[in-house]
Amino acid sequence: MIELRSLTDAELKEQLEEVKGKLDDILENISDDEPEDDSTEEKAGEGEPEEAEREEDIDALTERANELIELKEAIKTELEERAKVAATKAELRAKVAEDNTIEVKETHKEKEKMDRNEILRSTQYVNAFAEYIKSGDDTECRSLLTENATDGTIPVPELVEGIVNTAWNEEPLMQYVNKTFLKGNVKMGFEISATDAEIHAEGGDAPAEETLKLGIVTMVPETIKKWLTVSDESLDLNGAAFLEYIYREITHKITAKAAAIIVEKILAAPTEATATQASVATITATGTAADLIDAQAALSDEARNVIAVMSKSSEATLKKAALSANYAYDPFDGLTVVNSDAVGDSIIVGDFGTGITANFPNGYGVQFKYDDLSLAERDLVKIVGRMPMAAEVVACGRFCVIKAASNKAVKASK
């Protein structure tokens, strides 16, 4: 038997044709060996040896034919198996090619994202964004982007993002304030009063049901605006210089106003909680470190990360008091001091991380409007920056205000 696996497909097919040819020859020889009709009488016993020889030849041909038939079937089987293997390999190659195509597409998308980030860092996009601020036409910005702008908003260049983040990071008070970024008006619940948890002894009477009184603060965004006027010459600044000029000035003022609003909300909060306002405690100032100690005593146990917000004048007063006492005590009782002129003569002691929340519906970004008409006769252009923000005291017992006025000390009621 021939070793079929060692033969190529072409050799197998050639071998198959050869086997078919040999089988045809055998069939033809068998047909030729059949006895012919003869009317002439043969002598008795004369044809017996010839008949025996013919039968031997037929047996040999039959055996050979069976061998060839077996070989033919083996060749056909080998060819069929090879065809199946080839089909499987082709299917696998197609699958791999498809997976590679998907991977290439994903890689291309990632490359697009990388290209987009590079675009936001590019001088070309900075200049286009500066023109967008001046004219309101975002066509050039969109043409440079490799992806559609998110929610239809044109992304700011990396330069601007850095300026905005720096402005917020440099505003000391806002670092401690809890922030959210929720669209629209936001309602937040707060606890006015509640009974404490109890220990229940096994087999004892069931503990009394908790008495809980809640309030709801509604945070309605208001728009912080800051505008400045620039000369026509300022508009000739290149893109980066122009953006740095307006963003540094306007964003700094907006973040400062946001911090001032936080202070104003705390100072305006009632000493008695209502269904819509959380309470803030107040005490009377004495001008010594005892004020800060008393203010901390007026806070609830939930006030943990406590700081003191005061003007530089109030800070100096407490330092002078410590100086006159030869620094026998820490005038701030270990509290972190944050300066703010918005607090006036008062001092706020409290936990800004849990006691008040600032909500920025549109994020930290500052939106600009450009007006080159209203002051055109003076060759000036007005640029207005806007940022919506809502802020409210959202928990009782988190703040105590040390008031300069000679009023009786009041502890906030839940």
User: Is 50 contained in some domain?
Assistant: no
| 189 plus 295 within the same structural domain | yes
pLDDT value at residue 403 = 94
User: Is 325 contained in some domain?
Assistant: yes
| 98 plus 164 within the same structural domain | no
| 269 plus 305 within the same structural domain | yes
| 95 plus 170 within the same structural domain | no
| 111 plus 190 within the same structural domain | no
Tens of pLDDT, residues 266-320: 999 999 999 999 999 999 998 777 899 999 999 999 999 999 999 999 999 888 8
Pairing of strands 186-194, 212-219: antiparallel
User: Is 40 contained in some domain?
Assistant: no
Strand partners, 400: 281, 349
Task: Tell me how far apart the 2 most distant CA atoms of the chain are, in Å.
Answer: 162
Cα distances from 294 to residues 234, 307, 350, in angstroms, run: 53, 14, 12
Spatial distance between the Cα atoms of 3 and 75, rounded to a whole number of angstroms: 10
Spatial distance between the Cα atoms of 235 and 131, rounded to a whole number of angstroms: 10
Tally of structural domains, the chain: 3
| 366 plus 232 within the same structural domain | yes
pLDDT value at residue 28 = 74
Pairing of strands 347-350, 222-231: unpaired
Per cent of the chain over pLDDT 70 is: 79
| 127 plus 254 within the same structural domain | no
150: pLDDT strictly greater than 80:
no
Question: Angle formed by the axes of helices 239-268 and 123-135, to 10°?
Answer: 60
Domain that holds residue 104: 1-29+64-121
User: Is 319 contained in some domain?
Assistant: yes
Tens of pLDDT, residues 75-122: 788 888 888 888 888 888 787 776 666 555 565 555 455 467 788 888
User: Is 360 contained in some domain?
Assistant: yes
User: Is 373 contained in some domain?
Assistant: yes
| 186 plus 268 within the same structural domain | yes
Q: Which of 32-41, 94-103, 177-186, 324-333 has the lowest mean pLDDT?
A: 32-41
Backbone angles phi, psi at 348, to 5 degrees: -105, 125
pTM of this structure = 0.63
pLDDT value at residue 408 = 44
User: Is 327 contained in some domain?
Assistant: yes
| 139 plus 247 within the same structural domain | no
| 169 plus 296 within the same structural domain | yes
Residue 123 or 40, more confident: 123
Tens of pLDDT, residues 226-255: 887 877 677 777 788 888 888 888 888 999
| 182 plus 220 within the same structural domain | yes
Which of 390, 381, 318, 308 lies closest to 351, judged by CA? Answer: 308
| 325 plus 356 within the same structural domain | yes
User: Is 338 contained in some domain?
Assistant: yes
